[in-house]
Amino acid sequence: MKKIKGLFLALTLILIANTQYQLPASAKQTEKVEIPVLLYHVVKPDPDPNNPYQFSLEEFEKHMAYLHENGYRTLTMKQYFNILDKKAAMPKKPILLTFDDNSNDFYPYVYPVLQKYGMKATQFTVSSWVDGNWNMTSSELLTVMENGVDIQNHTVTHPFLAELSRDQQYAEINETTNALKELTGRTTNAFAYPYGNYNADTISILEELGFKGAFKVGGGISTDQSERYELPRIMILQEHTLTDFIRMIETGY
């Protein structure tokens, strides 16, 4: 009996000693979360010099090479939200790459560069534009989805949402959720506001439909303190040099 009591006491002391050196779960993720989120539109070899939203493929590859060479880790949308929610550890240099409008430059130009550098990204997709003359095909979307590109919600027709009724906004968002699920087999849980335009109705609809968050245009670097339905993105325009790019991913501006 004395031996059993002695063994129990020894085990108890070991347990207490070990507990003293274990951080509580809430203390394991105390570092400040900062994740730059980049926004690109059209990327191609010959961008229209009069269209600021079209970006040079050559310059885009310089961006990806810089990220690769300097230790940045691109995230999936799931990883992004897990880090914001302190459900996953943050890599040293996290970054989220997003592309809007499923334009037909993505598959032949952007996707190969992402593959070359092992990059993950998100394509915010306008559902009525799929298979259109100036947009990605269903097959292309499925191919990129299986190789590191999230397909997420960017409405049915890319309207100015704040100019629509609540019912119209609901249809724009929910019908795209349904269309993309039918195409991909996956439910979208992230949203990007077309033109960065939204109002209180938009946010309440996204909450009602169970979206984890939504992205606006501008606003600096996202953090765990960012409003989930007003997540900032850094928009890359044709005028931005590599020097600008480096500054923007470090400061958000």
pTM: 0.88
What confidence score (pLDDT) does residue 194 get?
98
CATH class of 35-251: alpha beta
Give burial (CB, 10 Å; 0-12/13-18/19+) of 117.
middle
What confidence score (pLDDT) does residue 31 get?
74
What confidence score (pLDDT) does residue 166 get?
98
Q: Where are the domains of the chain?
A: 35-251
Q: Going residue by residue through the chain (253 aa), what tens digit of pLDDT does each one get?
A: 444 444 333 444 333 334 333 333 333 445 789 999 999 999 999 999 999 999 999 999 999 999 999 999 999 999 999 999 999 999 999 999 999 999 999 999 999 999 999 999 999 999 999 999 999 999 999 999 999 999 999 999 999 999 999 999 999 999 999 999 999 999 999 999 999 999 999 999 999 999 999 999 999 999 999 999 999 999 999 999 999 999 999 999 9
Spell out the SS3 assignment of the chain. CHHHHHHHHHHHHHHHHHHHCCCCHHHCCCCCCEECEEEECEEECCCCCCCCCEEEHHHHHHHHHHHHHCCCEECCHHHHHHHHCCCCCCCCCEEEEEEECCECCHHHHHHHHHHHCCCCEEEEECHHHCCCCCECCHHHHHHHHCCCEEEEECCCCCCCHHHCCHHHHHHHHHHHHHHHHHHHCCCCCEEECHHHCCCHHHHHHHHHCCCCEEECCECCCEECCCCCCCECEEECCCCCCHHHHHHHHHHCC
